Amino acid sequence: MSSAQLEQHHLDLQQLQQVFEPPAAIQTRAHVPSIEAYRDMYRLSVSDPNKFWRQIASEFYWHSKPDGAEEAPILDYNFDLSKGGIYVRWFKGWRTNICYNALDRHVLAGRGDRVAFYWEGNDPEDRTSITYAELLQQVCRFANVLKSNGVKKGDRVAIYMPMVLELVVAMLACARIGAVHSIVFGGFSAGSLADRIINAKCHILITCDGNWRGTKLLSLKSIADKAMSICIEEGNPVVTCLVVSHVKRPRFGSDEADGDSHSSKPGIRPAKDCPVEMLAGRDVWWHEAMAKEDISDDCQPEWLDAEDPLFMLYTSGSTGKPKGVLHTVGGYMVYSATTFKFSFDYHLEDIYWCTADIGWITGHSYVVYGPMANCATSVMFEGLPTWPDAGRCWDVVDKYKVTTFYTAPTAIRTLMKSSDAFVERSSRASLRIIASVGEPINPEAWLWYHRVVGRSQCSVVDTFWQTETGGHVITPLPGATPTKPGSACFPFFGVQPVLLNPETGDVIEGPGEGYLVFAGPWPGIMRTVFGDHPRYEQTYFSKFNGYYTTGDGAQRDKDGYLWVTGRIDDMINVSGHLLSTAQIESALVEHPKVAEAAVVGRHHDVKGESAYAFVTLKDGATFDDSLVRQLLVIVRERIGAFAAPDTIQEAPALPKTRSGKIMRRILREIAAKSENYGDVSTLADPGVIETLVALRTRQV
Ligand code: WTA
C-alpha cells in the first residue's frame, strides 16, 4: 500500500464507526424526509395494517371490490400451526390486473410517451428504447399470441431468456391474461431448466436464440432444446416453443444509435452466427407469430382476484430440490411498487438502473413490476459490468444520466479491485441513490461505494430481502435513515423483525444476535410453494411457531440497527446467488467414482462465498486433475456454471458424529484454513481432521 492508500485505509476504518446522515439534497425532496416521519409511518403500518395498506392500495386501479369491502379487513392470515394451516390473504375478492396497473393506467393518464426502458446491449454501441405506449401495444399483441396458442388463466408459462425487452413483454403478457410465468435464469443448465418446466407442468416455453455476455456467445435455444428432450422423456412435453431472434434479429423499439445493423461494427460485436434448429410444429419464431394478420393489438386484461397467482420463481431449497415460490397478484403489486417508491425515494424525473438479471427475484420486483407500477424510466442492461472494461457501469450511468443505481455487493467488490480510474473517468454527476442487494455488504465495500462511486454525496441503500419476501423487508430510506456501513438498518413498513435465541427460541429484546424471523405478514410475502403447501409450512413456519423464518442470522446493535450476518442453514451465497449445498453434493455423487460428497461455503473476497467440495471416492478410484474436471462438468451441466465449486479436495473420510451426521462446521473450518475446530468430542473418528488438513495442501 502507498502512504496515500494507507491514510485512506485508516480513514475508512474510522468511518466504520460513523453514522452517515441522509444528504440534505435528497432529504429536501424525499417522500419520507426524516427518521421521525419514518417512525410515525412505521408505527401506523404495524398497529393498523388495514388502514395503512388500504390508503396505499387506493393509488392503484382496482376493477371491482366485493360488497362491504370498505369496512371489511383487507388482511386475513394464520402463522400459528397449532391453530391449523398457514395462509396469508391480502385484498381477497378485490379484482385487478398488474399489467393494467403497469401499462394502461399510465397510458390513460397521458404518460404513454414516457420511456419505460432504455435498453443497453452487451455491445456499448447497441441500444434501443421503448415507451409505455409502445410496450402496451407489444404486450397486447403477445398476449394474443399466447391465447392463440391455447394459453389460459392459471396456465404456467416457462420463460428462459436473456436481458432483452421481449422478456418484459412476455412477463406482462402472461400477467395480462392471468397466466403464471415461471422464469428460469439464463445461466441455468438444460437439466435445471427441465426440472423447473416439469415441476410447474409447463407446456409452453419462451426462449431466445442466444445472447452475448462480454465476448462469449451463449446459445440459449440449444440448451432449451436439450431441456425439451428431457421433458419429453419425463412425460411433460413442451407443445409450443416461442423463440426470439435476438442475435440476428428484427427488433422493435426505436433504435437511437443507428438503424438495423449489428454487424456493421466489427470488433465490438463479433460477426458470429448463432445457429438455431427449429422443430416444425413446436418451435415458432416470435417475430413471425407477432406479425400474423389475425393477431390484434387489442387485448382486454383478465380481471383477477388479488389472491390469484401472478408468478412462480424457483429458489434453492436446503434439501437440494428447488422450491417454486408463488406470489399473488394484489399483495405483490402493492408491495413491489411501494418498496420501490420509498426505498429508492423514486420521483418521476429519476432515471433508474438495476443491474440484476430478470431471472432472479430482484429483476422481477425491481427491473419490471416495481418500477413499471410507478411509471419509472429505467435502464435495462444485457451485458457485464466488466466488459469491455471495469468502467462500463459508470459510462452507462453518464450516458443515460442515471440517478438511482441498484447492484450487488459482488459487483461492487469486483469493480473495487480495478483501479478507481475506471470510475473517475465518468462524472456520475446524476447519481443520487446507490443501492445494494443479495448478500451482506462488507463495510469496506460500502465505504468504497459511498466515497468513490457516490462521491460522498449519495445515499447508500442496503436492501435486505428474499425471493420469498417479494420486496425489501429491511432497508434504510434515502431521505430519512442515518446509515451505518454494513447495516440494512430498519424494517420496511408493515414488517416486524424479531430475533430469536437459536437454542431456546426466546425473543431477544434489545441488542443481541439470533435467528431473524418475522411476526405477521406484509403484502408481498409468498403464499405457498407451488404444488407443495406442506413444504411451505415446514420450511418457513415450523421451526418457530408463529413466525416466518428467513434462514438468516442477524444482530441488533444498541441503536436498534439490524445487521444481517448471513445464512444459518445449509445454503451458501455465491455472488448473490443462493445455492443449496445439498444440490451441489447430489450432482457430485452422480459421478461413478464418487461415493460421498460434502460442500461448504468458504469466504471469498469478491464473490462473498465460494463453494468448497470434499469428495470421498469409491475403493480403487484415484483423485486427479481429470476427475476434478469431470466433476466440474457435472455440476455445470446439472445446475449451471455459477454453481461450480472453486475447490474440490479429496476426503478419504468425512468428519461424522457417531450417529453418522456430517459435521459441516468442521469442514468449514478446514476449508477456511482455520484451526478453530471447537468441540470435536462428538466426532466418531477425530483423526479425520488431520487427514483432511494434510490433503488440503495437495489439491489438484
Ligand atoms: C441474502 C435476493 C444481507 C440473505 C433478493 C437472504 C442479504 C438471501 C441481503 C436471499 C442483504 C439478500 N444483506 N444478506 N442486503 N440481501 N441477502 O432469495 O441470505 O436470491 O436470505 O433474494 O440473500 O436470496 P434471494
pLDDT tens string 377-410: 999 999 999 999 999 999 999 999 999 999 999 9
Query: Is the Cβ atom of 100 under 6 angstroms away from ligand 1?
Result: no
Distance 266 CA to ligand 1 centre (A): 40
State the average pLDDT for the chain: 92
pLDDT at 4 over 90: no
Is 548 near ligand 1, meaning CB less than 6 Å away? no
Q: Looking at 85-99, 325-339, 684-698, which range is the least confident one?
A: 684-698
Instruction: Name the 3-class secondary structure at 188.
Output: strand
Q: 566 CB less than 6 Å from ligand 1? A: yes
Which of 160-174, 533-547, 590-604 is the least confident region? 590-604
Pocket mutation for ligand 1, best pick of 315, 358, 446, 552 (most atoms within 8 Å of C-beta):
552
Q: What's the rounded Cα separation, in Å, for the pair 588 and 11?
A: 46
> In percent, how much of the chain has pLDDT > 90?
82
CA distances from 242 to 158, 208, 278, 281, 477 (A): 10, 8, 10, 11, 41
Whether the predicted pLDDT of 362 surpasses 60: yes
Handedness of CA 434, 438, 442, 444 (dihedral sign): negative
Q: What is the CATH number of the domain that holds 685?
A: 3.30.300.30
The average pLDDT across 254-283 equals: 60
Q: Whose C-alpha lies nearest to ligand 1, atom 5?
A: 466
**Listed range (242-256, 417-431, 440-454, 539-553) with the worst mean pLDDT:** 242-256
User: Mean of the pLDDT values across residues 590-600?
Assistant: 92
Dihedral (CA of 191, 193, 198, 200) sign: positive
pLDDT (mean) for 545-553: 96
End-to-end Cα distance, the chain: 32
Q: Region 561-583: what's the mean pLDDT?
A: 89
Query: 122-126, 325-329, 678-682 — which is least confidently predicted?
Result: 678-682
Cα–Cα dist 244/48, whole Å: 47
- Which of 619 and 207 is assigned the larger pLDDT? 207
pLDDT at 678: 79
Q: From atom 3 of ligand 1, which residue's Cα is the shortest distance away?
A: 440
User: What phi and psi values does residue 571 have, to the nearest 5 degrees?
Assistant: -115, 145
Q: Are the CB atoms for 357 and 575 separated by under 8 Å? A: no
437 C-beta closer than 6 A to ligand 1: yes
Per-position DSSP letters for 268-312, written without gaps between them: TS----------TTTEEEHHHHHH-TT--S--PPP-EETTSEEEE
Q: Which ligand 1 atom minimizes the distance to the CA of 488?
A: 15
What was the pLDDT predicted at 27? Answer: 97
Confirm or reject: Cβ of 609 under 6 Å from ligand 1: no
Given a cut of 50, whether residue 1 has pLDDT beyond it is: no
Is the residue at 408 inside a domain?
Answer: no
Q: What pLDDT is attached to residue 250?
A: 46
Give the DSSP letter of residue 665.
Answer: H
CA 520/CA 547 separation, integer angstroms: 7
If you measure from the C-alpha of residue 346 to the centroid of ligand 1, how many angstroms do you get, rounded to a whole number?
22
* Per-residue pLDDT, 292: 97
In whole angstroms, give the CA distance from residue 274 to residue 296: 31
**Least reliable range by pLDDT among 310-319, 326-335, 531-540, 652-661:** 652-661
Tell whether 671 is covered by a domain. Answer: yes
Does the structure show a pLDDT above 70 at 686? yes
Rounded to the nearest angstrom, the distance between the alpha carbon of 126 and the centre of ligand 1 is: 32
269 assigned to some structural domain: no
Index of the ligand 1 atom closest to the CA of residue 463: 15
Identify the pLDDT of residue 263. 36
Does the Cβ of 470 fall within 6 Å of ligand 1?
no
Whether the predicted pLDDT of 316 surpasses 50 = yes
How far, in Å, CA of 588 to CA of 645, rounded? 10
The predicted structure's pLDDT at residue 385: 94
Residue 666 lies in a domain: yes
Residue 394 Cβ contacting ligand 1 at under 6 Å? no
Those residues with Cβ within 8 angstroms of residue 672's Cβ, 6 or more apart along the chain or in another chain: 602, 603
Q: Give the pLDDT mean for 506-518.
A: 95
- Tell me which residue range forms the domain holding 630: 575-694
Q: How far is the CA of 376 from the centre of ligand 1 (A)?
A: 24
Q: Work out the pLDDT band at 571, boundaries 50, 70, 90.
A: confident
The strand ranges marked E within 411-507 are 433-437, 459-463, 497-500
Please, which pLDDT band fits residue 523 given cuts at 50, 70 and 90?
Answer: very high
Residue where the block lists cell 476504518: 13
> Is pLDDT at 615 greater than 50 in this prediction?
yes
Cβ(359) – ligand 1 distance below 6 Å = no
Q: Is 467 in the pocket of ligand 1 (CB under 6 A)?
A: yes
Query: What's residue 262's pLDDT?
Result: 38
In a domain, 557, yes or no: no
552 lines ligand 1 (CB under 6 A): yes
> What does the pLDDT read at residue 14?
58
118 located within any domain: no
Residue 117 placed within a domain: no
Number of separate domains in the chain: 1
* Bridge partners (DSSP) listed for residue 499: 516
In DSSP notation, 90-152 reads ESTT-EE-HHIIIIIHHIIIIITTSEEEEEE-SSTT-EEEEEHHHHHHHHHHHHHHHHHTT--
Residue 3's pLDDT band, with cuts at 50, 70 and 90, is: low
Q: Whose CA is nearest to atom 25 of ligand 1?
A: 466
Q: Is pLDDT above 50 for 106?
A: yes
Task: Please report whether residue 402 resides in a domain.
Answer: no
